[in-house]
Amino acid sequence: MLESSRALKEMGAVIVAYHPDTTKLLGLIELVVPSVSYVYVMDNGGAAWLEGTIKERNWDRVFRVDMAGNQGISKALNRSFNLLAAKSVSWVVTFDQDSCPPPEMLQSLRAALSQFEKNNQLKVAAIGPTIVDVRGGVLVRHPFIIFSKYSATKIASSERSGPFKVGHLITSGCMISVEAWRQVKFDESLFIDLVDVDWCWRIINSGYCVLGAGQVEMPHEISETGISKRFGRSVNKYNPIRRYYFVRNSVYLIIKKKNTIAQTGYLFRGIASAIFSALLSDADTKSSLLAIFRGISDGFAGEMGGVSG
């Protein structure tokens, strides 16, 4: 049985950074420091200045780790978990560099985990908040996904009164068990995109569950602009390199990993959505489409890891 949420005193936080906005990154650190034992900023590039700020502010529990160039999200997560495990940390909350968690979010996640454990004997690998987007003056709550063998169902946070089992979570705001991570590491070949989805699917296959805390909310910007509707379908906006990684990794997961029919369908729909969105939303449609076709080719060929250009 995993260590109970009552013993979450030793908790760490990880922020994966790549040329971060100074104000946003420092604001995130300020929000997180009071609630955890250690904060590790994994510097994939452009955050060397943080060393001076750590000294100026006497942040004795904040550490910058130089990744020696952009090593991707998955490698940064594995390295940070390894460092925190050595400090006997039992749970780690992970953030993107521009995450903006409410001050009470970590305590709320702990309470939701405790609530679930009181009524269940299941091993919990991770718990995460409802992701909300407030851009454009309209509050959008992103639903959780639940998989059966053959279908994927969207579940709004308002449909459940407490924490419940979900199909996967996004990295930002996710509280992860170090014990579960020891069983299943993040796949470093994916580099970025779908790292969190793949890990959740594999840890669930290993006998753990992943929870959505519907009543806990965190603002987070999933795409370059808010989700919009075109011809009755949702579209998002990304740059060509993000299109490449998403499609390449989707193809790789479809071909190389043992997913359910529902999960495979989810990935196929994601590829179709990427093409549809690139045509209608991206700033450089031609470059995005070329990146998507390259991603399809590399995914089939198993050309993984980080790429240039």
Whether the per-residue pLDDT at 7 is higher than 60: the answer is no
What percent of the chain lies above the pLDDT cut of 70?
A: 91
Please give the pLDDT value at position 158: 82
- The answer to the question of residue 306 being in a domain is no
Q: How confident is the model at residue 139 (pLDDT cuts 50, 70, 90)?
A: confident
Model pLDDT for residues 150-174, shown as the tens digit of each residue: 999 999 888 887 899 999 999 999 9
Domain boundary among 219, 250, 267: 219
- Please identify, among 167, 195, 219, the residue that sits at the C-terminal boundary of a domain: 219
Q: Are 79 and 105 within one domain?
A: yes
Pull the structure tokens for residue 173.
């705001």
Give the span between the Cα atoms of 171 and 300, in whole angstroms: 26
Domain hosting 115: range is 5-219
Residues 259-269: tens digit of each pLDDT? 999 999 999 99
Of 68, 21, 15, 20, the closest CA to residue 42 belongs to 15
Give how many domains the chain has, as a whole number: 2
Distance CA 168, CA 127 (A): 9
Q: Is residue 309 part of a domain?
A: no
pLDDT at 182 over 50: yes
**DSSP H helical ranges for the chain:** 22-32, 50-56, 72-85, 105-119, 178-183, 195-205, 240-256, 261-280, 285-301
- pLDDT per residue over 10-50, tens digit each? 799 999 999 999 999 999 999 999 999 999 999 999 999 99
Is there a single domain that holds both residue 140 and residue 275?
A: no
- Give pLDDT, residue 237: 79
Q: What is the per-residue pLDDT for 3? A: 42
Residue closest to 190 by CA, chosen among 119, 112, 116, 246: 246
Mapping DSSP to helix (H, G, I), strand (E, B) and coil, where does residue 80 land? helix
Q: What is the rounded CA–CA span in Å between residue 191 and residue 304?
A: 8
Residue 162's nearest CA partner among 211, 120, 215, 105 is 215
Domain end among 177, 201, 219: 219
Considering the domain boundaries, does residue 170 fall inside one? yes
pLDDT of 89 reads 94
Per residue in 59-117, pLDDT (tens digit) is: 999 999 999 999 999 999 999 999 999 999 999 999 999 888 998 999 999 999 999 99
